[in-house]
Amino acid sequence: MTAPDRRSAAAIADAVNAGRISAVAVAEETLARAAAYDAVQPQIWISRASREQLLEQARAVDARIAAGEVLPLAGVPFAVKDNIDVEGFDTTAACPAFAYRPESSATVIERLTAAGALCIGKTNLDQFATGLVGTRSPYGIPRNASNLAYVSGGSSSGSSVAVAAGLVAFALGTDTAGSGRVPAAFNHLIGFKPTKGRWSTHGLVPACRTLDCITVFTDDTADARLVDQVVASFDPADPYSKQLADKPLRPARIGVPRRDQRVWFGDTESEFLYDRALENLARLGELVEVDLAPLLEAAQLLYGGPWVAERTAAVADMLADNPDAIDPTVRTIVEPGAEVSAVELFNGMYRLAEIKRHADLLWSDIDMLAFPTTGTTYRVSELLAAPVALNSNLGLYTNFVNLLDMAALAVPAGIRANATGFGITLIGPADTDRALLDVADAYLSVADLPLPPSLDLEGKMQTVKLAVVGAHLKDMPLHWQLTSRDAKFVGAFETAPTYRLYAMADSVPAKPALVHSEDGASIAVEVYELGVAEFGSFVVEVPAPLAIGTVTLADGSSVKGFVAEPRAMTGAEDITSLGGWRAFIARAA
């Protein structure tokens, strides 16, 4: 048996159908890969199939192959965002208090498993699929697979990382405002958001039920096509399901945002990569600048207008019975929806209908849109400091799509220096799903993009460990300079026995100076971990005579830490014998 490319669903299915590898063997390998990545980001999962659960699925597939069946997804491992029901798993929507055990699988899951795919687990998400970031979950923050300091994007955070990390060949996400596209861009993936109604949403926890779509992340367009072939069909159990239709699309005229309306949030790299993408797209068709204003107005209805109440409707029971179980940021978003009146919603519907008419007419001037997927990306720490505003920035080019009944395909379009992905989204009128995949093929063949960067398995270049010794210790007056930078407490340690500690004269607030000395002692320190940018900004704020240097800990390892210029000792009191700053403060009090 030769192992197929583990990133290609088509290759795995071919190998299993041809008997070159068994589904059981694929499952075993998948279990090993997932276990290995647990050392990096266990938080991309909310639940995982047990070994026995997975092997049982795989054995059933092997038996069907042995019986002569040919299955389009034979033995292909996949992951499922945890707002989609899968029999045998709880559905949590990233809210433990909301969790339930579904009686049956969502229609899309039934179709995938009938086609031979193996569900290996349920992935983390922004709670109730409310977010584009991945930071809004009590199950932890999935991070960008290529740079752990950055957000994975959301709300389908865990699913995107599961594919980017090569754990599964494809993963289901969902998309109401961009949740199936933003994480694709950040993680160098294809993000296929079908036309609403093409894929059944029966068995999906609603976010905005009139807008929700189930989506898929894949490494290439062939797999997106393959999954679509298996999943797309009319489902009478979903009132929003539609009869299948496939409209052609020739990218003769490609709409792009008017240059003066493009917004990059200061990210010149994204701007550069988008310009390069446009050069490549110009080889497929004529670029036509379009007015963003009406599209942005539609988007505004989603989070700034009456559609917020649709999210409120989805979590009404939780809001009434157990509001504290809701993520605080999600709650600030969904709670105000209860105050929106039906009259406001009707007025919003009328305005949306007008904008939709405008958008429909757009299709007589252009054949499709090619927009940036996002204008920039953010560090996790940045998101945590401004969780609503930065999230909104990420939705600028995605929010309007579902409201205006469009199909969308997020496609990689380059790599930032920090290894995160920049992407464009190809957008067409309803039912151009398959046609967009063809356009993506044409684009990718002319774009000649670099391979995705290697995975960030340690995050070591991206965070810095810092030993603090005085006013930055927990509960001390400057501790906030760490918390405001999302610093993570690593532990309380002692230095190597080679330091003396001084209480500086005239320092406000009172601060010590840690001074290396062979005639020294072990001094108590606390070690924190910060993002490099946060660390840099922290260093900027350190006043003389203190400085940030390197501090040796008792175990011989080195971390960055507070040191002092010599003048620090002028008039200072040697307090080395106290063993640490807390003892000095206690004595003074």
Residues at the interface with its own copies (CB under 8 A): 209-210, 236, 238-241, 306, 309-310, 312-313, 316, 337-347, 349-350, 353-354, 356-357, 361
In 111-189, DSSP assigns E strands to: 118-123, 170-175
Which tokens go with 370? 């090619």
**Closest distance of CB 243 from its own copies, Å:** 10
Q: Checking DSSP bridges between strand 368-372 and strand 253-257, what pairing results, if any?
A: parallel
**Closest distance of CB 106 from its own copies, Å:** 17
Closest CA relative to residue 563, chosen from 504, 509, 487: 504
> Cα(523)–Cα(468) distance, rounded to whole angstroms?
11
Query: Are the beta carbons of 520 and 540 closer than 8 angstroms?
Result: no
Other C-beta atoms closer than 10 Å to the C-beta of 238 total 18
**Closest distance of CB 394 from its own copies, Å:** 25
| Given 8, 22, 47, 81, the catalytic residue | 81
Amino acid at 522: S
**Closest distance of CB 358 from its own copies, Å:** 9
**Closest distance of CB 405 from its own copies, Å:** 13
Query: Are the beta carbons of 178 and 401 closer than 8 angstroms?
Result: yes
Q: Checking DSSP bridges between strand 463-468 and strand 524-531, what pairing results, if any?
A: antiparallel
Which tokens go with 367? 């054949």
Three-state SS for 300?
A: helix
Cis peptide upstream of residue 50 (ω within 30 degrees of 0): no
Q: Which is nearer to its own copies, 240 or 264 (CB)?
A: 240
Three-state SS for 354?
A: helix
Q: Which is nearer to its own copies, 237 or 386 (CB)?
A: 237
> Cα(265)–Cα(242) distance, rounded to whole angstroms?
38
**Closest distance of CB 42 from its own copies, Å:** 36
Q: Which residues contact 511 (CB under 8 A, 6 or more apart)?
A: 470, 471, 504, 546
> Cα(94)–Cα(327) distance, rounded to whole angstroms?
9
Q: Which is nearer to its own copies, 309 or 413 (CB)?
A: 309
- Helix ranges restricted to H, 366-452: 380-385, 389-394, 400-403, 433-447
**Closest distance of CB 427 from its own copies, Å:** 20
- Helix ranges restricted to H, 124-235: 157-164, 182-186, 221-231
**Closest distance of CB 558 from its own copies, Å:** 57
Q: Which residues contact 12 (CB under 8 A, 6 or more apart)?
A: 4, 5, 6, 21, 26, 74, 75, 76, 77, 169
Query: Are the beta carbons of 392 and 130 closer than 8 angstroms?
Result: no
Cis peptide upstream of residue 545 (ω within 30 degrees of 0): yes
Q: Which is nearer to its own copies, 289 or 335 (CB)?
A: 335
Amino acid at 92: T
| Given 152, 155, 241, 270, the catalytic residue | 155
Three-state SS for 511?
A: coil
155 catalytic? Reply is yes
**Closest distance of CB 355 from its own copies, Å:** 8
| Given 47, 137, 160, 179, the catalytic residue | 179
Q: Which is nearer to its own copies, 33 or 242 (CB)?
A: 242
Q: What is the dihedral of CA 118, 122, 123, 126, to 10 degrees?
A: 140
Q: Which is nearer to its own copies, 36 or 338 (CB)?
A: 338
Residue 58 DSSP one-character state = H
179 catalytic? Reply is yes
Q: Which is nearer to its own copies, 344 or 565 (CB)?
A: 344
> Cα(314)–Cα(318) distance, rounded to whole angstroms?
9
Q: Which is nearer to its own copies, 281 or 314 (CB)?
A: 314
**Closest distance of CB 330 from its own copies, Å:** 16
Chain CA centroid to CA 64, Å: 36
Q: Which is nearer to its own copies, 225 or 311 (CB)?
A: 311
200 catalytic? Reply is no
Q: Which is nearer to its own copies, 285 or 306 (CB)?
A: 306
Catalytic residues: 81, 155, 179
